[in-house]
């Protein structure tokens, strides 16, 4: 937890209000340049967005609603409600509109835990 609190808020928020997109898997908000330069803080190990324009296009969307900023996700009731308490601190969309095909999810070996959180039209969690 001390590691999360030590993060500089500037580093975990979109660097501008222009060209902000959301990760389709975890709803993290960043500018396209931030996703390209740094990847997704939560999903990079399997989505490989960093330095990959095709994956950036496939796994992010500018079509989202609402924003919540989380500084200490493990202690936040909002994070628990949104099912993002295990994610990194940052700004998240409340609702993301878009989908990733089930074939792409399988091809990228998305972990089962992450697929349970996925809220797109190809959701694997029947209660979502």
CA distance 3 to 21: 26
Amino acid 8: pLDDT = 57
Q: Which of 75, 123, 81, 79 is nearest to 101 (CA)?
A: 123
Q: Nearest Cα to 101, choosing from 127, 124, 121, 125?
A: 121
Intervals of the chain under pLDDT 50: 1-6, 116, 121-128
Instruction: Give the H or E element holding residue 14.
Output: none
């Amino acid at each position: 937890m001390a590691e999360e609190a030590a993060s500089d808020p500037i580093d975990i928020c979109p660097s501008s209000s222009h060209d902000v997109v959301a990760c389709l898997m975890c709803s993290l908000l960043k500018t396209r340049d931030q996703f390209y330069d740094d990847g997704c803080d939560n999903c990079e190990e399997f989505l490989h967005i960093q330095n990959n324009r095709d994956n950036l296009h496939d796994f992010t969307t500018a079509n989202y609603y609402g924003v919540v900023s989380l500084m200490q996700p493990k202690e936040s009731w909002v994070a628990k409600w949104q099912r993002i308490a295990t994610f990194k601190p940052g700004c998240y969309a409340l609702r993301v509109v878009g989908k990733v095909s089930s074939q792409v999810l399988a091809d990228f070996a998305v972990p089962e835990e992450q697929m349970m959180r996925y809220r797109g039209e190809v959701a694997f969690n029947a209660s979502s």
